[in-house]
Structure 1
């Protein structure tokens, strides 16, 4: 925890948990239902009954909540203390005193901690491992957590030849500015990210339609504003081409069950791997 606070103070890490704490203020049943459907769409099936679900970098705790609602036994952990608190808050709201949902503090880079967790039917880490500061090591570390025949569901930022260096600079600048001056980065980034879509909505007579209905359009039940802050501030920041992630896990005996890319643009590529060769 001290390491996290030091990194934040040095401008080397974004406070994801503080952003997630604000998201919990707008979380409702509709957003939870959207998140639930998005998870089932990627994993297949109608529930997770009897499954053991490990949420690496649980953030708001939304997808740990969804997994528990779907019947899984859940273990959630995060490196950011405020994210741990957010996840614990969702457990308190929806599953108080539930022994089948454990919330803890840990890092995907801490091999000693990871070795205490054992193996899981589903290892889930959406948009997390590229924020560790050592993405490839984190990917290496989480691999043994997936039991034979189990599932790994990860999302990793897409590599863009031109824009990746630009966004790296933006994110670093945001975190190194005093909080009172971060609007100098956030404002222009908001215009860049949302300007074209806002103009399009105005042109078709539906002002701010996409913004207001972002949870439905984004599928995962998230908040437009909180996603903007998360994107602009999200640092450390690493990326990978889809084929790099595929090759990495293929060499470890995993087979790709499902792939959802961002079309070569901004955002995450989603991968669902099975811990067994395709021939099986």
Structure 2
């Protein structure tokens, strides 16, 4: 029932011009996934969570997207539960499981919303709760941030990444993203082309100035595994869109008995600040 209700709600939001289809981007990503990207994902989990193995641990991937980091956690030995609000993202995660852990009972996949507390309650508590670049796309970020806290076991870790608040620039990006998802598909290039110029124009000019045309584009490695084009589409279209300052997130979880153990900021630029919290009681 939760799967069907989530799928219906998702389609209503997409059709109403209120939500970007992230799953379509992740479907394209499956065509380029390789051992290098998988190992990068494994290494990033190990570094941020400060561990070498997840043997005997449970891992909840909220907004699993492509399923890459669920796969990474499973490779590290965790028992994994992945879910996403976007049906195509759920399908991507299922396809990745089929390729690497087919018929594995230690990796379960579902369709649900992080805003649905009843659904989250059915999942239980986990040693690691992971949600990278997801909660700010729910349309109710602070509710989502509160909800995920209840799935973290005592002494467990919460690893989240959230868009940085750039003030006026973030307000402009909100308008860009909202315009993109509200437009018919055949008109979205009107937003995408200026977005390309804004995001890639300066670095492309620099590459030409230093006699290395398109070098940055050709050697680009997004930390989520996306190609340059898919990364641009993901950023331009990523709506709903909310932002936060690192100190807001720190205070929010401090008041909920969580201790910050790791922080990696985007140095005030557009992008995500990454946090790892540990639940104390």
Scaled by the length of structure 2, the TM-score of the pair is: 0.95
Structure-2 separation of matches of 1:99 and 1:241: 39
What is the aligned counterpart of 1:255 among 234, 259, 268? 259
Larger mean Cα displacement after TM superposition, 171-180 or 205-214: 205-214
- Alignment pair present for 1:206 and 2:212: yes
Structure-1 separation of matches of 2:123 and 2:242: 26
Structure-1 separation of matches of 2:170 and 2:9: 26
- Alignment pair present for 1:233 and 2:237: yes
* 1:225 to partner: Cα distance: 1.5
Matches for 1:1-280 after TM superposition, within 5 Å: 1-215=7-221, 218-276=222-280
> SS at the partner of 2:32?
coil
Structure-1 separation of matches of 2:209 and 2:58: 48
Structure-2 separation of matches of 1:224 and 1:134: 28
Structure-2 separation of matches of 1:71 and 1:139: 26
Structure-2 separation of matches of 1:198 and 1:44: 36
Q: Deviations over 1:87-107 (max 9, x none)?
A: 000001110000000000010
> SS at the partner of 2:199?
helix
Structure-2 separation of matches of 1:222 and 1:34: 12
* 1:177 to partner: Cα distance: 0.7
What residue ranges of structure 2 are gaps of 5+ in the alignment? 1-6
Question: Is the contact made by 2:60 and 2:80 (CA closer than 8 Å) also made in structure 1?
Answer: yes
Scaled by the length of structure 1, the TM-score of the pair is: 0.96
Structure-2 separation of matches of 1:125 and 1:202: 38
Q: Deviations over 1:162-185 (max 9, x none)?
A: 111100000011001110111110
* 1:252 to partner: Cα distance: 0.7
Question: Is the contact made by 1:121 and 1:146 (CA closer than 8 Å) also made in structure 2?
Answer: yes
* 1:40 to partner: Cα distance: 1.3
Structure-1 separation of matches of 2:120 and 2:62: 10
Larger mean Cα displacement after TM superposition, 192-201 or 260-269: 192-201
Question: Is the contact made by 2:19 and 2:239 (CA closer than 8 Å) also made in structure 1?
Answer: yes
Structure-2 separation of matches of 1:191 and 1:31: 27
Q: Runs in 1 of length 4+ with deviation above 6 angstroms?
A: none
* 1:272 to partner: Cα distance: 0.5
What residue ranges of structure 1 are gaps of 5+ in the alignment? none
